[in-house]
Structure 1
Amino acid sequence: MSAGLPARAVVAGLGVSGPSAVRALLERGVAVTAVDAREDAAAAAELEALGAEVRLGPAAVEQLPPTDLVVTSPGWRPTQPLLAAAGAAGVPVWGDVELAWRLRGPHAAPWLAVTGTNGKTTTVRMLASILGAAGRRAIAAGNVGVPVLDAVLAAEPYDVIAVELSSYQLHWSSSVRPVAGAVLNLAPDHLDWHGSMEAYAAAKAKVWQGVEEAVYNADDPLVAGLVRTAHAPRGFTLGVPAPGQLGVVDGALVDRTEHGDEELASVDDVAPAAPHNLANALAAAGLALALHPAYRVDDAAVRAGLRAWRPDAHRIALVATLDGVDWVDDSKATNPHAAAASLAAYPSVVWVAGGLAKGASFDELVAGARDRLRGVVLLGRERELVAAALQRHAPDVPVVEVAAGEGEGARAMAEAVDAAARLAQPGDTVLLAPACASMDQFRDYGARGDAFADAVRARSSSG
């Protein structure tokens, strides 16, 4: 039995992180009961063969089995019956990130952590690229797709781990202490889970617990207000930085120190150089430079790492240019804050939007973007919420609604692309930045982006 681990544990949820938690606990002699509401959890047979007791189906997640610890998948709400029962019984509840932190070895790699409403994955991938350019063996892990447990327990140890942390993961973490942590931005999101904006912001602020440096977005009033109680705050801005900050001066990303401006990279080293990408690059640079000098992350590594970085799919990705119109897939813009950043990157836009609103308001988004809108094409279950905001704040902008229903995602997107082509003029950008989740019509945001790209390419081949 490993020190600090109990004799029995329940692992709640067998999605991405759950199986890693089960395996890690079993290897350390813990008796594990794994539960999942799905009857067909893919990892069940493997985990049973390793020695776990696996319980599947809705009834399996309603009651708490006898246990000394619960390790929960991040998306499970505190009000979920099994977790609520654990709380009432005084049983500790950890997330997979908390478990990973506690299982680190005596010479564990330092963590550099990133959270925020949007931009997390881009930033940790930029950060990993910078660390790689500095000659460090690094990985982007956590909410980015690779479970942080897998990174911590890798057979070949990493030098540094760039950890993307969602508000859910931070909620279920208590002892995690990265070397440096960054909050990129804050906007209402996941409020149905956290219960209030205050609780959501408090979860995000946990990324700064115990850090040597708290990196923050000085241009975001909510973040700037939140950082006041953090240790060693260091801001980044898209404007001219104050002393001690990172910012942009004459087309260069700079670190303004007491000795003057140190140029880290050119704006042109970040592609695409959309404003939110530049902010992400500054955050990644700030985190990398917070490491001990022994890690040898210098200005040259920042520049080389940013030059080498390429965005993941469905993040302001140019699909095609047809008849002078750029078609851009930013399906990852699943909330209004992300869509606002995407829209701000283009002067004249035919905007494709809609889906599941998750309780969001679109008034501020539309009011801020209305002067950029050539036209709007709406699809998805809650498109009328976006339409209502457009009527209030941009009544003169042409709007086309696509009526194809749930289960008809490909058809809906093909109709949306056809409508966008009719609205667009040479020099415009047709931008898929839905400001909504995708699961009403698509498997996920990736499938939605693929459907958009397929429909655009179909026009190209037919033309």
Structure 2
Amino acid sequence: MAFAQHGPVEPRVPLAQARVLVAGLGVTGRAVAGALPPHVASVVTVAPSDDADVPLPADDAGRAALLADADLLVTSPGFKPSDPLLVAAGGAGVPVWSEVELAWRLRVDRAAGGGPAPWLAVTGTNGKTTTVEMLASILSAAGLRTRAVGNVGTPLIEAALDPDLDVLAVELSSFQLHFAHTVAVQAGAILNLAEDHLDWHGTMAAYGADKGRIYERAERACVYNAADGATEHEVREADVADGARAVGFTLGAPAPGMLGVVEDVLVDRAFHAPADAVDRLTYAAELGTLADLEHLAPGGSLPPHVVANALAAAALARAHGVPAAAVRDGLRAFTPGGHRIQQVAALDGVTYVNDSKATNAHSAAASLAGFPAGSVVWVAGGLAKGARFDELVEDRADRLRAAVVIGVDPGPFTAALGRHAPDVPVVVVDPGDTGTVMRRAVAAARSLAQPGDTVLLAPAGASQDQFRSYAQRGEAFAAAVEELVGGA
């Protein structure tokens, strides 16, 4: 399989004179096509849809003709590096940028002065959206004008052109980072690395390397997960700016240069020991307590990954110079978005929790870890994306009361359950329309649950086999639960 190479980075002419080809007309492509006209000579959209300027060429001759009239190609995550158009662009010497690279090039100076707003960026296999929203809450608590942007939903190109923002909290996916060439974040974090999206990247090494691009040219801090050696490896591999520091976060007591937890206190041993500290080497700033996160604990149990996300967000904010009190206030004020460890209802002593955002094995494992042994009726299933679930089930089998499997292809899930949790009852829900699937799944889960249990939707698979998105899947689950409660 051919992959688009990182060839030339600069267009053949200055950007203002460039003829730009925009590949894809999803959220990213439309935002790029809408923002570009004042900044370039011309814009042409290409996509397999009727509203594109030109249809996606089906052969080499068509691709060559299209690229002959382009000085730059801005691509969308829907186009893999192996897509023939991107491969042809590399061969023709046409630079390929992601929206992230374009936003970096076009960012405007802040109205308040001091140049463009710096970027504090987050990537990782799981937890990106929660962490970047926590970060935005902390920055707002510090009195800064900010937005959570990027892969979180708001296109980065829109925020980069807004002069009224002081700093951006940026979620970046591996897709976006792959074709980001000159971005230099003020501080960047990789939360974790686990097997995912190999259909897009080809190998785990390539996936990790694309995540690691968040550290390239970082100005102040590269934040890594001390419990995940792969994230620290990417820090070691990065070519950072002079003076940039590696800053770890841990759920245990932090070493110097890290953030962590001492008893129930979130502490910072990396940033800004005051000049009057008695011992600067042992000084630790108190950033808050676990009680400041208790509103994020479904059923009263605070998941470890929520604490890890909070520490990563705090590290990025501290790298920007945010005071400790603002970290505490921002975490207290933070409210997670939908479909992330979200309690829907309780009925007959059973709690129903929607974590539809858990779209891979790593995120489902983190979700299950937050509940007591033998207390979860797990609703799982969806597109496996080539992943296996043996490690997930083996590691979390002790949490399971039972499992309910949805999806067009339940085989990878039921096989792992059979191998590693043979005593756990499993119900497979036949495919149907979205409402029917979830009503059947919730009914089956109710029949298996006992008082004190949690019915947890943490699918470990993507949603597109039966739903438009993880959000629609979560909404269908919530609707089925509410229907159940209303009829009780």
Deviation at 1:239, TM superposition (A): 1.2
Q: Are the counterparts in 1 of residues 256 and 282 from structure 2 also a CA contact under 8 Å?
A: no
* Other-structure match for 1:31: 42
The amino acid across from 2:463 in the alignment is S
Provide Cα deviations, 1:388-414, integer angstroms capped at 9, x if missing partner: 001111101111111134xx2211111
Other structure's SS at 1:124 match: helix
Match of 1:265 in 2: 288
Please say if residues 16 and 40 of structure 2, whose CA atoms lie closer than 8 Å, have aligned partners that are also in contact: no
Among 224, 229, 232, the residue aligned to 1:224: 232
Contact 1:35 1:60 in 2 (8 A): no
Q: Is the 8 A contact 1:352 1:434 kept in 2?
A: yes
1:10 correspondence with 2:21: yes
Partner of 1:274: 303
Counterpart for residue 86 of structure 1: 89
Is residue 2:387 matched to residue 1:360?
yes
Match of 2:331 in 1: 306
Matching of residue 322 in structure 1 with residue 333 in structure 2: no
Conserved? CA contact 2:57–2:63, under 8 Å: no
2:63 aligned counterpart, secondary structure: coil
- Partner residue of 1:238 out of 231, 240, 251: 251
Report deviation, 1:430: 0.5
* 1:55 and 2:66 correspond: no
Q: Does 1:200 align with 2:207?
A: yes
Identify unmatched segments of 5+ residues in structure 1.
Answer: 45-53
The alpha-carbon deviation at position 227 of structure 1 amounts to 2.3
Are 1:159 and 2:166 matched, yes or no?
yes
8 Å contact kept, 1:143–1:166: yes
How do 1:115-194 and structure 2 match up within 5 A? 115-154=123-162, 156-194=163-201
Distance 1:59 1:33 in 2: 17
Partner-residue secondary structure (3-state), 2:27: coil
Q: 1:388 aligns with which of 404, 412, 415?
A: 415
Q: Secondary structure at the match of 2:459?
A: coil
Distance 2:434 2:15 in 1: 49
**Amino-acid identity (%):** 57
Q: SS of 2:340's equivalent?
A: coil
Structure 1 equivalent of residue 73 of structure 2: 70
Question: Which 10-residue stretch deviates more, 105-114 or 158-167?
Answer: 105-114
Number of equivalences: 444
* Alignment partner, residue 427 of structure 2: 400
Once residues 56 and 346 of structure 1 are traced to their aligned partners in structure 2, the CA distance between those partners, rounded to angstroms, is 50
Native 8 Å contact 2:24 2:78 kept in 1: no
Matched position secondary structure for 2:486: helix
Given that 1:314 and 1:330 are in contact with CA atoms closer than 8 Å, whether structure 2 keeps it comes out as yes
TM-superposition CA deviations, 1:412-459 (whole Å, max 9, x none): 111110110011011111000000011111111111111111111111
RMSD between superposed Cα atoms in Å? 1.7
Say if 1:6 and 1:69, in contact at 8 Å, map to a contact too.
no
Structure 1 counterpart of 2:317: 288
SS in 1 for 2:102: helix
Alignment check: 8 A CA contact 1:36 1:60 kept: no
CA contact (8 A) 1:74 1:96 kept: no
Take 1:311 and 1:419, find their aligned partners in 2: how far apart are those partners? 28
- Asked if the contact 2:104/2:183 (under 8 Å) is kept, the reply is yes
Q: Which stretch of the first structure deviates more once superposed, 267-276 or 335-344? A: 267-276
Give the secondary-structure state (helix, strand or coil) at the position aligned to 2:36.
Answer: helix
Q: CA separation in 2, counterparts of 1:57 and 1:224? A: 40
Compute the TM-score of the two structures, normalised by the length of structure 2: 0.88
Deviations 1:95-116 (A, max 9, x none): 1110010112351000001000
CA distance in 1, matches of 2:178, 2:464: 24
Is the CA contact (8 Å cut-off) linking 2:260 and 2:311 kept in structure 1?
A: yes
Residues 183-230 of structure 1 show CA distances to partners (whole Å, capped at 9, x for unaligned) of: 000000000110000000000000001112100111112213332234
**Whole-angstrom CA distance in 1 between matches of 2:156 and 2:388:** 33
Q: Does residue 453 of structure 1 match 2:466?
A: no
CA shift for structure 1 position 382:
2.1
Q: Distance in 1 between matches of 2:407 and 2:283?
A: 51
Contact 1:74–1:172 (8 Å) recurs in 2:
no
Asked if the contact 1:185/1:220 (under 8 Å) is kept, the reply is: yes
3-state DSSP class of the match of 1:403? coil
Separation in 1, partners of 2:229, 2:451: 37
Q: Shift in Å at residue 82 of structure 1? A: 1.4
Name 1:48's counterpart in structure 2: none
Structure 1 runs, 4 residues or longer, greater than 3 Å off: 1-6, 56-62
Q: Could you tell me whether the CA contact under 8 Å between 1:37 and 1:60 is conserved in 2?
A: no
Q: Output the amino acid matched with 2:424.
A: V
Residue in structure 1 matched with residue 120 of structure 2 by the alignment: 112
Q: 1:302 to 1:414 in 2, by over 3 A?
A: same
The alpha-carbon deviation at position 78 of structure 1 amounts to: 1.6
Distance 1:316 1:24 in 2: 35
Q: Which amino acid aligns with 1:160?
A: V
State whether residues 184 and 216 of structure 1, in contact with CA within 8 Å, keep that contact through their aligned partners in structure 2. Answer: yes
How many angstroms does 1:17 deviate by?
Answer: 1.6
Q: Residue 123 of structure 2 contacts residue 189 of structure 2 at CA under 8 Å; is this kept in 1?
A: yes
Deviations 1:27-66 (A, max 9, x none): 1242111111122x4xx6xxxxxxxxx1246659962512
CA contact (8 A) 1:188 1:360 kept: yes
Structure 2 match to 1:49 = none
Whether the aligned pair in 2 keeps the contact of 1:37 and 1:59 (CA below 8 Å) is no
- Give the TM-score normalised by structure 1: 0.93
Determine if contact 1:131/1:137 at 8 Å carries over to the other structure: yes
